[in-house]
Amino acid sequence: MATIESGTPVMTLVNIFTVAPEQQAKLADLLIRATNDTMRHRPGFVSASIHRSTDGTKVINYAQWRSAKDFQAMRDDPDARDHMQAAARLASFEPIICEVVESISAPGKSDARA
């Protein structure tokens, strides 16, 4: 499960894929299958959340890895590389390595300021 919280010791990848609308579902399915079949079994994998834009032109993969070293080891893995190359044939993409600065939720019963 993704944990979006500052101070969490994970490396965050936000990968934004730009895709033709008729390829969006195929790309999302490919990323889900790749994550289930390969990525989640690699050392250091924490979570992945796949999103589709409502206009059909983007697929976003929000993934967390224990460390940049684990992420790089996955990228060097031939099975993972095959999935990444398949995604690249469907879409252009922009991987962004991030750290969580802050995560803000709606006030609730446990919120002292509520």
Give pLDDT tens digits for 25-82: 999 999 999 999 999 999 999 999 999 999 999 999 999 999 999 999 999 999 899 9
d(CA 86, CA 40) in angstroms, rounded, equals: 18
Q: Which domain holds residue 19?
A: 11-98
Q: Does some domain include residue 112?
A: no
Quick one: CA torsion of 94, 35, 76, 64, rounded to 10 degrees? 60
Q: Where are the alpha helices (DSSP H) in 1-114?
A: 24-37, 68-76, 78-90
Residue 67 lies in a domain: yes
Q: How many domains does the chain have?
A: 1
| 3 belongs to a structural domain | no
pTM equals 0.86
Q: Can you give the CATH number for the domain in which 18 is found?
A: 3.30.70.100
Asked, for residue 109, whether it belongs to a domain, the answer is: no
The answer to whether residue 57 is domain-embedded is yes
Q: Find, among 27, 8, 11, 9, the residue nearest to 19 by Cα.
A: 27
Q: Indicate whether 41 belongs to any domain.
A: yes
